[in-house]
Amino acid sequence: MPTGKRYTDAARRFDRQHLHGVAEAVDVVKSLATAKFDETIELAVRLGVDPRRADQIVRGTVALPAGTGKDVRVVVFASGPAAEEARAAGADAVGADDLVQRVQDGFLDFDVAIATQDLMAQVAKLGRVLGPRGLMPNPKTGTVTADVGKAVTEFKGGRVEYRTDKFGNVHVPVGKASFARNALLTNSRAVIDELQRAKPAAAKGKYIRSVTLASTMGPGVKIDPTRIRITDEELAEHAAS
């Protein structure tokens, strides 16, 4: 967590205990994002799940309608027509055994790894390398698929992965500080709707425990969990902002 002078000054500019509405939180976070680079804005949600239980792990992907604001680097483990399809869709690196060897040799300059099912036996060799970095292809996140062209297009266009950590928190980027308020609200709604859709049947009690929005270098701004629903009317109201 940033703890420099800029962070300390930003933390003094608002009430850190106040529970904001989503639109209000977006405004506060944007006003505090004063770094010399375009800071990423991230939504952090603490869920009422026990991630030690397999049936309560919340994991998947969500498409951000306004995109991520970053150039997503995608590699694809595929051969034959699937490899050609991946290249045509704009994958940054495509290969089979050769790409597996390249990753084993230290190539990790990518954000998403996609694989066809027939290549997973080879990709499994990379578990110790890709797993800890959250890059291992998985059917649950749509990164093990026969339709690699569609997957490449979606991840480059704004589809992101999410997964609960060991404390039951989910961290998802919802855009950049340069994004208009409406774009950040649209992406935030997509994430919140997806997390609610993905609620495990085994989860009991209050599901969404806390919600925080923050920029890369800024302090977290708390959002009222009872006010996280963003309506079409609210999006329309802020469409020009």
Beta bridge partners, 172, equal 43
pLDDT at 13 over 90: no
CA distances from 175 to 40, 50, 69, 192 (A): 6, 28, 6, 14
Residues of the chain with pLDDT > 90, as a percent, come to: 80
Question: Same domain, yes or no, for 230 and 168?
Answer: yes
Question: Same domain, yes or no, for 163 and 150?
Answer: no
C-alpha–C-alpha distance, residues 104 and 111, integer Å? 16
Final residue in a domain of this structure, among 156, 176, 208 = 156
The pLDDT assigned to 168 comes to 95
The pLDDT assigned to 236 comes to 75
Question: Same domain, yes or no, for 150 and 181?
Answer: no
C-alpha–C-alpha distance, residues 230 and 32, integer Å? 22
C-alpha–C-alpha distance, residues 215 and 35, integer Å? 10
Give me the phi and psi of 97, to 5 degrees please.
-60, -35
Top pLDDT among 234 and 198 is at 198
Q: pLDDT tens digit string along 161-193?
A: 899 999 999 999 999 999 999 999 999 999 999
Q: pLDDT tens digit string along 38-90?
A: 999 999 999 999 999 999 999 999 999 999 998 999 999 999 999 999 999 99
Question: Same domain, yes or no, for 55 and 164?
Answer: yes
- Name the DSSP class of 201: T
- Domain assignment of residue 9, given as a range: 5-68+159-237
Question: Same domain, yes or no, for 179 and 111?
Answer: no
Question: Same domain, yes or no, for 225 and 214?
Answer: yes
The pLDDT assigned to 9 comes to 64
Tokens, residue 170? 């989910």
C-alpha–C-alpha distance, residues 163 and 133, integer Å? 12
Question: Same domain, yes or no, for 81 and 110?
Answer: yes
How many domains does the chain contain in total? 2
Question: Same domain, yes or no, for 183 and 215?
Answer: yes
The pLDDT assigned to 4 comes to 64
The pLDDT assigned to 239 comes to 67
pTM (two decimals): 0.79
Question: Same domain, yes or no, for 127 and 226?
Answer: no
Q: pLDDT tens digit string along 112-154?
A: 999 999 999 999 999 999 999 989 999 988 999 999 999 999 9
Question: Same domain, yes or no, for 81 and 149?
Answer: yes
Question: Same domain, yes or no, for 58 and 79?
Answer: no
